[in-house]
Structure 1
Amino acid sequence: MSDWSDVWLVVPVYNEGAVIAEVARRAMQTFPNVVCVDDGSRDDSAAQIRTTGAHLVRHPVNLGQGAALQTGVEYARAQPGAQYFVTFDADGQHQVADVERMLKRIKSEDVDIVVGTRFRGGDTSHIPWIKRVVLRTVVALSPRTKRLGLTDAHNGLRVFNRTVAEQMSISLNGMGHASEIVEMIDRHKWRVAEEPVTILYTEYSMAKGQSLINGVNILFDTALKTGSRR
């Protein structure tokens, strides 16, 4: 067993009461430090989180995933001994084994941030078609993403060191925050690598998954951010 006491998982949560307790408990079997940011959920997400022993931070109203991630990173980096940070989805799509592999890379290689990718090797047919279209389009629209050699800019599974955590300042509250993180990688010259990861598209996560409207919102946010920083 590895000692992951210097690692903090940051989990943004919005109306995930049906699964968040199981997700948090599974993660905590390997990683003792988990902070869940309840982003103004209207269900029992907060109550479910309290049953797990995970740290709970709450937004009184829904601010969006970007804001929840920023709150969680700020909370985690204030904790004694925190050196490595993970952004981890609340719906059960991310795998602990992938996180362990990414952490081993960041601890042994000359990188600041490791980003998960669905598009390096392997079959992508299991990815819902709208996700494939949106994610491929985001990469095509972003010169930075292509210049950095990234293939999956909107993968929510990321591992980064304290340097990144201290400099991270997400201003896009919605789903466009992922493109903003790519912009920060480029601007701050963070050393970045990609790691192939497995995303589990369960019936539950598919039901809550990326709608066409949200996909359009991602593209709109990305275009605005790219245009303002280019």
Structure 2
Amino acid sequence: MIVVIPAYEPGHALVRVVQGLLLERPCLELFVVDDGSGPRYAPIFDAVRAAGGVVLSHPRNRGKGVALKSVFRHLLNIGASGPIVTADADGQHRVDDILRVADAVTAGDDRTMVLGCRGFTGPVPLRSRLGNAASRVLFRLGAGWSLSDTQTGLRGIPDAMLPWILDQAGERFEYEQNVLLRLHEAGWRVRELSIATVYEPHNPTSHFRPVVDSLRVFVPLVWFAGSSFLAFLLDTVALVVFVSITGLLIPSVIAARLLSATVNFAMNRRVVFRAQSGRRALWRQGVRYGLLATALLASNVVWMSFLTDAGLPLLLAKVIPEGILFVTAYQAQRTFVFAAGRARSGEKAAPDDEDNNGAEAPHSKRIAPIVRMEEDPHLAGRTS
């Protein structure tokens, strides 16, 4: 079993967790990443080494996502096998809960990630309680499935998932959310395991910024909203112009939608979902987008005809259906239109016109003997 803890300017809680884990399970392999904490925190990492942990160092702070990817890449390079557990360095994960997650992922199958999820009961800081509630709603909109603790860093990862999880985007806190947002559509499963909700007074070693990092987490949804709003504006202006010229509602709706849909497809394909490129992929995505757009257009026409017949002004009759169909459109484009070209289940997406994906075989070697090191050249010298 392998435990990975990314750490930036940690407190003594990190040392207590490392000591407790190695006392309970002396045979586990424990990696701590010093993500550019600086000389002031050297005694903390010296204590981690003294307890039996391996410290891998970044010369400067590069973010939690980069720290995790550094260790994941290192484990692949040395041919490590067995489940991996990630935990936070701020004392919010108890030793017994980390080991429970480790046992659960070890006993489970190689398609299921185990998440240690907090119940947010007891003396939880208000910003954390409100932040989790808001992130659950946004996550449900973005991912299409519900999760009780979207910000948990306590995760049990089967080794078969390692190539796929390493391929996900993000450098800081958004990396962990990107993994969760794409899990189900890539064919992986999730099991929630209830853990204690622990907070140090004022949570001094947490570097999560509620507003900035939450926005980074849900950038795809924000971009989609922006793309949809631009298409909505274009569609609305074109509709008003076409109706004023022709006096015909239905043909004007269709013509305006064709114009705005073309712009929306291009933006979502390249900017929002960053879908697979190539002629085959373009045709496949275009056909699927066309089918979806036709279905949404038919629904929009029915709604607008009903609302205008009921006496609502044209603009209001347009705004109401658009708002209702926004979430449906996002989910359908993410999972149906643009999902086929992305990497699935540990496979690499095919480049250009290749449609056959080449799966990376899970590694099977046991981990090599630990080398105590201040800094792994491979980890420090590359940008994830």
TM, length-normalised to structure 1: 0.83
Residue 99, structure 1, aligned to residue 93, structure 2: no
Q: Specify the alignment match of 2:218 in structure 1.
A: 223
Answer 1 or 2: which has greater helix percent. Answer: 2
**Worse-matched range after superposition: 38-47 or 152-161:** 38-47
Q: Which residue of structure 1 lines up, in the alignment, with residue 118 of structure 2?
A: 118
Cα 1:163–1:157 change in 2 (3 A) is: same
Q: How far, CA to CA, are the matches of 2:145 and 2:114 in structure 1?
A: 12
Q: 1:16 to 1:94 in 2, by over 3 A?
A: same
Q: Which residue of 2 aligns with 1:198?
A: 196
**CA distance change for structure 1 residues 82 and 40 in 2, over 3 Å: closer, same or farther?**
same
Q: Which has the larger radius of gyration?
A: 2
Structure 1 residue 100: Cα displacement: 2.7
**How far apart are the structure 1 equivalents of 2:88 and 2:173?**
13
User: Residue type of the partner of 2:115?
Assistant: V
1:177 aligned residue: 175
C-alpha spacing 1:12/1:59, structure 2 compared with 1 (3 Å): same
**Is the contact made by 2:140 and 2:146 (CA closer than 8 Å) also made in structure 1?**
no
Instruction: Say if 1:135 and 1:83 are closer, same or farther in 2 by CA, change over 3 A.
Output: same
Deviation at 1:91, TM superposition (A): 2.0
Q: Unmatched 5+ residue regions in structure 2?
A: 225-271, 274-333, 335-384
What is the aligned counterpart of 2:136 among 139, 143, 164? 139
Distance 2:97 2:183 in 1: 21
Contact persistence 1:145–1:182 (CA under 8 A): no
Show CA shifts across 1:40-89 (max 9, x none): 01221433332222111111110111111111222234455521000111
Paired residue total: 218
Which SS does the other structure have where 2:57 is aligned? strand
- Does the residue aligned with 1:142 lie in a helix, a strand or coil? helix
Do the aligned partners of residues 181 and 26 (structure 1) sit closer, same or farther apart at CA in structure 2, a change above 3 Å counting? Answer: same
Q: Among the aligned pairs, what percent are the same residue?
A: 23
* 1:151 correspondence with 2:145: no
Query: What are the equivalent positions in structure 2 for 1:1-230 lying under 5 Å apart?
Result: 7-16=1-10, 18-31=12-25, 32-42=28-38, 43-44=41-42, 45-79=44-78, 82-110=81-109, 111-119=111-119, 124-143=121-140, 147-169=144-166, 170-203=168-201, 206-209=203-206, 214-226=209-221, 227=224, 228-229=272-273, 230=334
Shift of 1:175: 1.6
Contact 1:8/1:76 (<8 A) preserved: no
Please state which structure has a larger fraction of its residues in strand. Answer: 1
Q: What is the RMSD of the two structures over their aligned residues, measured on CA atoms?
A: 2.3
Give the deviation of 1:215 after TM superposition: 0.3
